Structure 1
Amino acid sequence: MRHRPLPRSLNPTPGEALPSFLLRLSYRLSVKPLDLAEHCGLLGASRVTFPSRHLVQLDAETAQALARSCRLSVAEVHDLTLDRQAPGFPPLRLNYLGRKRTFETMVAEGWSFTRFSRYCPQCLSDPEHGSMTSSWPGIWHLPMAFACPRHHRYLDWRCPACGNPAFSAGITAAGRWRPAQLIPNPTTVLHPAQCRSRIDDHDHINQPPPACGQRLDRHISPTIRPSPDALHLQQVLLELATALADPHRAVSAAEQFTDLRAAMLLICGTWPATAELFPQAANLDAIDTDVDQRLRRLAARKTKVTHLARALDTPPADSVACAALMLLARQVLAGPDRAEHIGALLSRCTRQWPGRLKLLRLEPHCSAGLRTTFQPGLDGLRPVSTDYLAFFPQPATHQGKLDAAAIPQRLPDAWMEPLRALGAPIRPLRRDAAIRLVQMAHGGTRRQATLYLGFTASVGTNTSAQLRSWQSSDDNARKYADTLDRLANELVADGSLVNYQHRRARLQDWVLPPDDWKKIIEAVVRRLEPGQRHRIRWDRARHLAASAIVWAQVTQGEWQWAPMLQSRPDVGLIEIKRTRFSAYELTLPVFPSRGPGLLARLLHDALHEHAGRLAGRVDRLGEKRR
């Protein structure tokens, strides 16, 4: 039975992270980590995902279930999380830099290593505190931990065998991170010091994907000894991160870390200007290599400017480069010529500099002394009146004239025609225009308009970020506002608008009825070749995918945000995308470049016809209510 005490458990080692404790317990009991997590109440709703957010923080109910199962106190369980281990490190807080974040936003910012961990091979091979198996401290997941004070060596971060980041699911052949879990490859029992990264990109039906298995405690890499300055900085940063708030401290730990982050952003964003100011600084070549590699990767992926700003703001994964960058940042912040050096770096920043908005967001949370130093150089980078259209809420210019219910999630192509000429990225522009039109018609905040359309609040934030650099260029913000104003006037004059909000409301709990789905299957199967009919899996995932596409056609919405997918996480998008007949093939008008097969065309036609009939019925119900 779930949450019952296990027959045997372990004592956590001081500073141990939750995934390390679970790995050691899994190895001792010879139980798969995923099964152990299910027993302890740590799995997501799908029962196959192992949420990495538990590394940072545990809610009260989950903590109590884990404590009961593992024979620990609730305090001991909370001590396994980064939130308890690093109270002085502000990037771990959900309320950070004056706004509330999601866990996903925290991960994307890169200031907590929830996807991988650095490690010291000697610590893993020689565990302290009486542990019989290797223990992974939580502090290894934080960017300021770049050296081992015990063995006076830099921490490693890659597996020497497969090259993947340690304690990660690995990186695909396409260069993308595999989905993060609290414990990678959780269906395999391995020694805690073994690499758990997948070694191929293939799906393995009914068996766990192969793990690398390299013992990270048995490969002692060539040691580059940190300098005394680096070890001293390491000690200072770890003490700041692990210290509780002290009201008597002149500059709080949070302010000191924000100062460091602002200086690192300024250094990377203007590189190699700082190297010219400090030519004798240690390991400048490591910083140069790291910045160059980041920019090359982003250029190869044709990444947007907003992603460039995030890349420049993220600490290097490599310990040597991270230590060098943090040491250089401390020199900039603590040197006698601080004002002169910071002024010289800020003079290289323009209003088009990718890190401008990030630096402006960090500045109010820096120490008072650094804010004073920043002020002259930042004044020229602050928003002016022409920025307001790009960065501030859309006013309710058409309230009482345009009905917000007539705005769909995905603007029709005819509405998009005048917007396409603006030259912005089409997908975020389509979403952003829908959100702004709702604000123009209905008033309220951007968040309220985003939720009204059926998106999550983070969609509105991410959409705005994807368009920010485009709106900052030339006169794009004003052109965009003028085009939206003309479009809204045309919609006001159109007397045949559809009430999409009514359709969304009526289909909130809808899914293709079994009888209708059976008729659609029969109509499609009749037109297939006999040998093909029995090879198709008409399973639940395909049923939900088809329901999502019908919903998207009726509501003029985006199929990914269909309620039947959001309310059924036990199936979820990953399983739907894995079906042989994927949802992408169903949306032929949306993805015309994909070459669909016969099955895709037949099913698309059948669903399109069903959507037309369903839309008529829903609209007639709306008319009767009026």
Structure 2
Amino acid sequence: MTTALPRSVKPAPGELLPGYLLRLAHRIGGAPLDLAHRCNLTSGTELSTRFLVRLTELEAQRIGTVCRLDPAEAHAFTLARQYPGYAPVGDVYLGRHQSHTTMANDGWVFTAFSRYCPDCLTDTAHLPGGPVWHSAWRLPHTFLCPRHDRLLAWRCPACQAPAFSNRYASNSRWRRVQLTPGPDQRLHPAQCRHRAGTARTPACGHRLDHETPTSPLPTPQMSRAHERLAAAAASRPDNLVESCGQPVASEVFLHDVRLIALVVSRTWPAASALLAPCGPAEGTGTLDSGARTDGWVARSHDAPPADPFAAAALFSTVVRLFDHPDAGTVLARLLALIPTASPGRPRLRRLILHCSPAVRAILSDEARIRRSASGPPELFPQPATYLSLLDPSSIPATLPERWAGPLDLLDAPPRAMRRDAAIRLVQMASGHPRTAAARHLGIGPKVLPSTTLLMRTWQKQPGNAEAYQSAPRHVAAIAIRNGS
């Protein structure tokens, strides 16, 4: 029989169930896992992320009984209170039924970690049980704290693990996303709960509410983008939001945001040059890197960046595109930079079905997004991602030694590798097809086929194509730093 605790804590506005369990467990001197057992939320050692999304009536009743709360207060601990205005937490999203595991791995529903504001944790430290982890910090489009006018943090300053995350196990395999990481640990709610090894390894324990290095101040563009996205996610489903000059439902607006964010991240920093986004983020060239390789964030390749600064750059650019007087032309130009063979193309085709009429009209015109090509097809075709940032006339046919460091790490034919990298740099800086880029460098029609054949043969060996995919970007970054 479920019995009430001798004492409890009052829920804070905007608090999610995992943060509440931390506070209450700390107040009564127990572990969150023990409290979850008492509420019949688990029979093992894991707490399912489904409780982050919604509770059944029976689960809400049990939590209410044990924690001395009204069932309505228990339901308020979930993200379901934002549905149907915030469509990603619905049972059906983008036309597909989704489980809580799908949600946890998607990256656009909620994050597998939690961003946080150290100042907010400090401000609420006086509450019974400790500070409050706000629900908005788990939403992928939340990257700043409007109350303290600062970008959120996301890593523990001591161990560098993402906050409120299981991170990776000692064997480097993905750990399942949990409602509360390390639920058997008795720690202060503001302490980092990450442990790099097994269950016997002590947790990091660093206090996240202590002073952290100063983060960059959000620009006016960042603040406007954050306000726009937060308002759309919290609005009623029948409220209209402007997208590319047309009023649409908030759900459709968020679908547009997801699609355009994919386009911007796939074409960065060309999108930066076309739209001139927020100053501090210009020219970073790495806006989309964490979104695809960082398992702390999500397994979905189009998940937004984990780093709040990169997320601010991305979403500020997306909102600026929405507000651009010729948004259709700009979006079409960016789409033309995405190669036909890019892995982002299938995702674009799936997302288009759920977007606004204005965005669908742009994406449906295949003539606008078809990329011209000449010569033998390349592995990983090179998009023009460095327009206005890299001067094609400054790129030599034979790359200088100070540029070639990233290439020297690859076991490829050195002369062919450097010649191919030079061709790709011109493509990145100008948008020319491969033959025209080679002609610009003075590489004749007799040399280009042999170079292409050598590089294609090398790239077809296991692991080589993937290793070479990022090398031209690193060479471009060096060229820009050296004043190309």
TM-score, L = length of structure 1: 0.54
**What SS is found at the alignment partner of 1:259?**
helix
Which consecutive segments of 4 or more residues in structure 1 shift more than 6 A?
295-298, 378-381
Q: What is the CA–CA distance in structure 2 between the aligned matches of 1:163 and 1:35, rounded to whole Å? A: 28
Q: What is the CA–CA distance in structure 2 between the aligned matches of 1:203 and 1:128, rounded to whole Å? A: 28
**What SS is found at the alignment partner of 1:19?**
helix
The counterpart of 2:149, out of the listed 145, 148, 152, is 152
Correspondence list, 1:4-403, <5 A: 4-43=3-42, 45=43, 47-85=44-82, 87-127=84-124, 133-172=130-169, 175-198=172-195, 200-204=196-200, 209-246=201-238, 250-279=247-276, 281-285=278-282, 288-292=285-289, 310-311=300-301, 313-377=302-366
Per-residue deviation, 1:175: 4.7
Per-residue deviation, 1:288: 1.9
Correspondence list, 1:556-567, <5 A: none
Per-residue deviation, 1:88: 2.2
Q: What is the CA–CA distance in structure 2 between the aligned matches of 1:112 and 1:165, rounded to whole Å? A: 17
Distance 1:295 1:195, change over 3 A: closer
Q: What is the CA–CA distance in structure 1 between the aligned matches of 2:252 and 2:176, rounded to whole Å? A: 32
Distance 1:138 1:36, change over 3 A: same
Q: Deviations over 1:26-66 (max 9, x none)?
A: 000001111100001111x5x22211221111122212211
Q: What is the CA–CA distance in structure 2 between the aligned matches of 1:185 and 1:273, rounded to whole Å? A: 42
Per-residue deviation, 1:178: 2.5
| Contact preservation (8 Å) 1:122, 1:220 | no
Q: What is the CA–CA distance in structure 1 between the aligned matches of 2:157 and 2:304, rounded to whole Å? A: 22
Which ranges of structure 1 fall in alignment gaps of 5 or more residues?
Answer: 299-306, 382-626
| Contact preservation (8 Å) 1:167, 1:196 | yes
| Contact preservation (8 Å) 1:343, 1:377 | no
Q: What is the CA–CA distance in structure 1 between the aligned matches of 2:66 and 2:80, rounded to whole Å? A: 22
Per-residue deviation, 1:236: 2.1
Distance 1:258 1:379, change over 3 A: same
2:18 partner amino acid: P
Q: Deviations over 1:248-289 (max 9, x none)?
A: 664111111111111110112233331332346433357522
Q: Deviations over 1:576-598 (max 9, x none)?
A: xxxxxxxxxxxxxxxxxxxxxxx
| Contact preservation (8 Å) 1:87, 1:241 | no
| Contact preservation (8 Å) 2:290, 2:306 | no
**What SS is found at the alignment partner of 1:275?**
helix
Q: Deviations over 1:410-437 (max 9, x none)?
A: xxxxxxxxxxxxxxxxxxxxxxxxxxxx
Q: What is the CA–CA distance in structure 1 between the aligned matches of 2:120 and 2:161, rounded to whole Å? A: 20
**What SS is found at the alignment partner of 1:251?**
strand
Distance 1:336 1:129, change over 3 A: farther
Distance 1:86 1:154, change over 3 A: farther
Q: Deviations over 1:510-555 (max 9, x none)?
A: xxxxxxxxxxxxxxxxxxxxxxxxxxxxxxxxxxxxxxxxxxxxxx
Count residues in correspondence: 362
**What SS is found at the alignment partner of 1:83?**
helix
| Contact preservation (8 Å) 2:64, 2:71 | yes
Q: Could you say which residue in structure 1 is the equivalent of 2:414?
A: none
For the pair shown, which has the larger CA radius of gyration, 1 or 2? Answer: 1
What is the aligned-residue identity percentage?
40
Q: What is the CA–CA distance in structure 2 between the aligned matches of 1:99 and 1:142, rounded to whole Å? A: 20
| Contact preservation (8 Å) 1:156, 1:319 | yes
Q: Relative contact order, CA 8 A, sep 6+: which one is greater?
A: 2
Q: What is the CA–CA distance in structure 2 between the aligned matches of 1:183 and 1:297, rounded to whole Å? A: 20
| Contact preservation (8 Å) 1:55, 1:114 | no
Per-residue deviation, 1:111: 1.3
Per-residue deviation, 1:184: 1.0
Q: What is the CA–CA distance in structure 2 between the aligned matches of 1:251 and 1:51, rounded to whole Å? A: 34
TM-score, L = length of structure 2: 0.70
Q: What is the CA–CA distance in structure 1 between the aligned matches of 2:199 and 2:66, rounded to whole Å? A: 32
Q: What is the CA–CA distance in structure 2 between the aligned matches of 1:116 and 1:286, rounded to whole Å? A: 27
Per-residue deviation, 1:297: 7.0
Q: What is the CA–CA distance in structure 1 between the aligned matches of 2:127 and 2:189, rounded to whole Å? A: 15
Correspondence list, 1:564-583, <5 A: none
